[in-house]
Structure 1
Amino acid sequence: ENSTPTANGDEAVRCAAIDIGSNSMRLVVSQVLSGFDYRVLDEERESTRLAHSLSVNGNLDPQAIEDSLAALRRFKKIAEGFGVYDIRTIATCAVREAGNGAEFCRRAQEEAGIEIEVISADMEGQLAFRSVAQAFDVRDMNVIVFACGGHIEEIFPTKLGCVRVTEQFGINDELFTTPDSLKRLIAGIDKELKPLIK
């Protein structure tokens, strides 16, 4: 979070955040306005597929790590171009579950100068809801927020994200081209969901 003078002499507060997901990484640079409002100055997205091999061997993919570190360095330069030097960076399911998640965070700090906060599944849900509540008026309404991730879907905590499922069932090249591939997929999803749906 940084302040820069405006034309009327007030200080404009700018901030930046990076979201490291299982499938992609996002940067948002914003200027804080009056109240709880803000104006987006820049948005960037990089497809890194960090969770590419997680369901196969329990670790983040080495090439995806390199791509993610390169994206972090690029995002940092962009934020600094807007005068923001303190970037809140969070990582979710993939980094949280990976055996080499802590090593990835260490390298991000050393090689990109980015400190990563690995958040819990509960915090993921809270932040998803807050972002929806900020964008839409949900007062006095019963709402469910469905956050579609690359590695985990959250109405119930399940491990049915698109990257994990396609790798777990080996259907990258044969998705729905054979009856067996579809049956395997449905059976795997049913097995994951049955304990959650009573």
Structure 2
Amino acid sequence: MNNKRVAVMDLGTNTFHLLIAEGSADNFIEIFHTNEGVKLGEGGINKGVIQPAAFARGVATMQRFQKHIEENKVTEVRAIATSAIRNAGNGADFIREVKEKTGIQIELINGEQEAAHIYNGIKASGCLGDDNALIMDIGGGSVEFIIGNDTEVLWKQSFEIGAARLMDKFHQTDPIPVQSIKELTLYLNTKLPELFLAASKHKPSILIGSSGAFESFAEVIELEKGKKFDLKKTRVYEFDIDELLDLIERLIKSTHNQRANMEGIIPVRVDMIVVASLITIYMMQKMGLADVTMSTYSLKEGVLAQMLG
């Protein structure tokens, strides 16, 4: 039995996650798990800078994480930074300040490495089979697409079209205007030709959404049916396609207040979920995918599997 206790941090554009666990890679025991809506990209995501208020929130969150790590007597720590820190002119300053104040050394990974970790997380959740799947991880800064099955990755790429970036560009008024949706669609058409080429070659038959907005979709759907839904106890969730399409349509037409009052959408996702919905429906239509699954496992579980492996 592996009695190593490890901590993984996924430092995203919107949310910082901390997961402390022990055990084996394929059946780890969660000791502690928290996330904070840091909104590191707020006000600066498309300018390539972390704004002072967001910078301070990020450092303060890392100090809280360090306390949890100490309290839980962790033996090995990894903190992974993605799109927002990767592309910010002052990203190195952020990494330096966190190291000074907490002792945590942040690893900056590129989009390819990010996609590889996500695949490992999805694989660990057990939702991959023999058929090729298109895995989509909608982050705040970037979106990772991976085509693969339970034995191999056939193709993977990261695109800087995350929800925070798209919201900044296309979702300025609520509900989002039809014209903005058209512009967003045209924008995605110009950004994703390599994905379409890979998909026409490998022919994925299922869309797997990695955590994030997909967790909110699942939670809203189940809560509206009056069911108790525990994300912590869920690794994989298969959507009823009609329920998913109905929810996506309602989210796209909704106002900020309507979304804020929807049970199952966490505050940091209330606004981002509109463009996340649009990316999801866009991919389903473009690829002709009517089979959609959500995995609660993602980047941090992929890194965790590596650490415990």
Q: Give the TM-score taking structure 2 as reference length.
A: 0.55
Change (3 A) 1:166 1:78: same
Within 2, Cα distance between the matches of 1:78 and 1:167? 33
* Deviation of the 1:23 alpha carbon: 1.0
Say whether residues 1:23 and 2:14 are aligned partners: yes
* Deviation of the 1:183 alpha carbon: 3.6
- Deviating more after overlay: 186-195 vs 36-45: 186-195
* Deviation of the 1:190 alpha carbon: 3.0
The higher relative CO (CA closer than 8 Å, separation ≥ 6) is in 2
Within 1, Cα distance between the matches of 2:134 and 2:196? 16
Q: For residue 189 of structure 1, what is the amino acid of its counterpart?
A: L
Change (3 A) 1:105 1:82: same
What residue is the counterpart of 2:113 in the other structure?
123
What residue is the counterpart of 1:167 in the other structure?
168
Change (3 A) 1:182 1:73: same
* Deviation of the 1:91 alpha carbon: 0.3
The counterpart of 1:103, out of the listed 93, 110, 127, is: 93
Gaps of 5+ in 2: 146-156, 198-309
Higher relative helix content: 2
Whether the 8 Å CA contact 1:15–1:32 is kept in 2: the answer is no
Within 2, Cα distance between the matches of 1:32 and 1:167? 41
Report 1:131-142 matches (<5 A).
131-136=121-126, 138=128, 140-142=130-132
Whether the 8 Å CA contact 1:54–1:164 is kept in 2: the answer is no
* Deviation of the 1:116 alpha carbon: 0.2
Report 1:7-46 matches (<5 A).
12-33=3-24, 36-46=26-36
* Deviation of the 1:194 alpha carbon: 4.7
Gaps of 5+ in 1: 1-9
How many residues align? The count is 186
Q: SS of 1:146's equivalent? A: strand
Deviation string, structure 1 residues 97-135 (Cα, Å, up to 9, x no partner): 111111110011012221100011111111111111111
Change (3 A) 1:196 1:17: closer
What residue is the counterpart of 1:48 in the other structure?
38
Within 1, Cα distance between the matches of 2:102 and 2:84? 19
Whether the 8 Å CA contact 2:45–2:141 is kept in 1: the answer is no
Moved over 6 A (4+): none
Say whether residues 1:187 and 2:186 are aligned partners: yes
Q: Percent identity?
A: 27
RMSD across aligned positions (CA): 2.3
Whether the 8 Å CA contact 2:138–2:163 is kept in 1: the answer is no
Within 1, Cα distance between the matches of 2:103 and 2:69? 13
Change (3 A) 1:129 1:76: same
Say whether residues 1:88 and 2:89 are aligned partners: no
Whether the 8 Å CA contact 1:174–1:181 is kept in 2: the answer is no
Q: For residue 13 of structure 1, what is the amino acid of its counterpart?
A: K
Within 2, Cα distance between the matches of 1:13 and 1:24? 26
* Deviation of the 1:154 alpha carbon: 1.5
